[in-house]
Structures are given as C-alpha cells and as structure tokens.
A and B are shown apart, each in its own frame.
Chain A
C-alpha cells in the first residue's frame, strides 16, 4: 500500500532517446510534483499539478513534458535525452490547503515523496 510510487526505479538509456517516468499516489491528494535531485544532492522543483492543472512550471527545457491523466497520476516524459538529464527524479504529492481565512489555511500538508527514479543517460 505504497502511498507514492514511481516506476521505474532505475532507468539507463542513451542520449537522444525518449523516456517516461510514471508516478501514482493513493493518498487522495490534489497536488503532485516532480523534483530533480542532481549529483550534488540539490533538490529542485520542476513541475506541480493541482487536479490535473499545471500550476508550477520552473525553468525546465521543453523536452520535459509532464502529463496528468487524473489527479492520482503525474507522469514525466523526456524527449531527446541529454547527458545532463542524469539525476534522481522524485515525485511527490500533497493536499491542497483549505481556503484562505480558514483556521488551518496557514498549514500546508507535508509533501509525500516517492522513492525516486535514478536516470542515467549514457
């Protein structure tokens, strides 16, 4: 009953190929994210979707295209892979905070992370 699951766990591919990473969450959360962790362990947000709608799109090459078929899934497709794309990609989800003015509106639910997908481009 894994909360946030990503597949595959490891992905080794050659430059120029197209690959996808899948993510699913069974927590009933509204919001899902993709984070990239580089070789120096920096974690940086790439995208965020809320109820299938893109709401955060950081400066990411347009070779990266997220797809959210429903709010429980957020897949990441990468075209024309480059050496610099090698990294660990983490999927995460969280619950949208209550509306402003609500007593709990200042509380964002914590992010629940997947185990990561280690992508190696050769």
Chain B
C-alpha cells in the first residue's frame, strides 16, 4: 500500500533554530517524493523533490530508502517559513502523477 506519514500535525520553533519536518513513506516500488508547501492565503506549491537534490529557500530533504524517510530540514528557521507542509509520494502511472499526501505539518516560527 502507498502511504505517507507525517507524525507531527503541529511544529513550533524559534527563529534561527534548526527545523526538521518528518516524513515516512510506504511504497513497494522506487519512490518519487516531494515536499509541497502552502503559505497563508496562497495556493499549494511545490517546494522541492528528491530527484532534484537541490536546496530551496534553505530547505533540503534526503531520501533514505533504508529508513523509508524523506525528512525536510533547514538549519536556521525564518519567520516566513511558517506554513503548512505536505510530504507527497508519486504512486502514479505513466502520463499522470498520483500524489499520495501525508496529513501535513503546520510549522510556526516564533520570533
């Protein structure tokens, strides 16, 4: 079964502190994983994907197949990072993505 688990519904850290949003997945094939973010009053948008191996807005995420995890990390949180974060797994077929989302983590950065 395809499943994405984000164990923390809410996460609150102080500005400048490191932040880690946890994501674990269950998938029998080769996973394609994403982090999507929804800032206040904005639409859901892609933050990063594991294939790209890039850092976006200071965030990185490494796919760990042994632990079936794709945790999102940032060394120094900023207030503008406050948002809803969704981890997602593509369990789709050629021609369409079938993103399976976690329940989301609401990240609040305190000044």
Contacts and interface: CB of A to CB of B under 8 A. Distances in A.
A89 to B, nearest CB: 13
A31 interface: yes
Interface residues of A, number: 29
Interface string A39-57: 0111111001010000110
Interface stretch (B20-28, B59-67, B69-77, B94-102): B94-102
Contacts of B44: 43, 90, 113
Interface residues of B, number: 24
Interface of B is mostly: strand
B95 A41 contact: no
A122 interface: no
The listed residue with most B CB atoms (<10 A of its CB), out of A106, A108, A114, is A108
A116 B93 contact: no
Nearest to A96: B95
A106 to B, nearest CB: 6
Given A56-B92, A110-B34, A40 B99 contact: no
The listed residue with most A CB atoms (<10 A of its CB), out of B36, B95, B103, is B95
Contact of B97 (A40, A111, A115): A111
Contact of A45 (B34, B43, B98): B98
Given A110-B46, A114-B43, A40 B103 contact: yes
Contacts of B93: 55-56
Contacts of B81: none
B97 A108 contact: yes
A112 B95 CA distance: 15
Contacts of A4: 43
B98 A56 contact: yes
Contacts of B103: 40-42
Interface of A: 4, 30-31, 33, 40-45, 48, 50, 55-56, 90, 94, 96-97, 100, 106-108, 110-116
In order of increasing CB-CB distance, the 9 nearest A-B pairs are A110-B46, A43-B101, A113-B44, A48-B96, A41-B104, A113-B43, A50-B95, A108-B97, A55-B96
8 contacts: A4-B43, A43-B86, A45-B98, A48-B98, A96-B95, A107-B51, A110-B34, A115-B43
